[in-house]
Structure 1
Amino acid sequence: MADLGLLPKFFALRLKRFNTPWVGILFSTLIAIGVSYMSYTDIVASANFLYGLGMLLEFSAFLWLRWKSPQMNRPYRVPLKLPALIVMCLVPSAFLVFIMAIASKMVYLVSGLMTVGGIGWFFLMKLCKSKGLLRFKSNLEDQ
């Protein structure tokens, strides 16, 4: 992600011997160690909860684009009108919401912290880019 300019450049620092991004690996390892104190069931449930949030976001983006930009060129197009698309997205959304509703308190806590942390990280990186506090790779460096 640092190579794409989404994270600061230091996440892409690589060891010369193996060409591995050691800062990114260290960061991922610290997250894995933190999560390892949870039960396996809570880890899986948290991953599913976050995946479900992502799917709901994708469904809403899909419906929003169809409503606001129905004539936009796309690689492929679902051949249904908006009301049918809403019904099509409601069925899996109902299952996702049900699974989320029966989650444990630990899953809500972890998923909530990760969601808020992710949103906070996004705005922090945006601030760091605009103020020049951290260096990010730009597309111009590829040329």
Structure 2
Amino acid sequence: MMIPDGAMGAADILGADDVTIEPVTVPEWGGRTVLVRGLSGTERDDWEASIRQLRPSLTKKGEQEIVLNQSNARAKLLVKCIVNAEGGRVFTDQQAPALGRKNGKALDRLYDVASRLSGLSDEEEEAIEGNSETTEGGDDSPSSSPESSDAPEPSS
């Protein structure tokens, strides 16, 4: 296989500035601006794990299936994506329940931006909306994991 000239190496990839932050005006919160950034790979994995649960299959005895735990899924994403002017998180994961009690229209607006910046697929978004079927898996399926206890990331 021929490697093209200019192909990126590890240092190039790790050094690339690939963080996208977008300001979002929230009329429900006095017209103030909230900064939203896309998830890192690790944050996306943590978020996906927080909304999936492994349970015994309802249709296949002895097997397990993955189901979505849609409870507060938007706020669980937003606590990872709302940042300050330096790009550091303003919420901890543990603050998702409190954020989830805020205005649904405002959260939906921010969620739409966060999901777009994070590259969430239409299927993932439809699943959060409750429009998808249960996904089945065998014993090698990922199990649900408790929500990460990460504190806000320090600004860099």
More strand by share: 2
Q: Determine which structure has greater relative contact order: mean sequence separation of CA pairs < 8 Å that are 6+ residues apart, divided by chain length.
A: 1
* Higher normalized helix content (fraction of residues): 1
Give TM-score scaled by structure 2 length: 0.27
TM-score when scaled to structure 1? 0.29
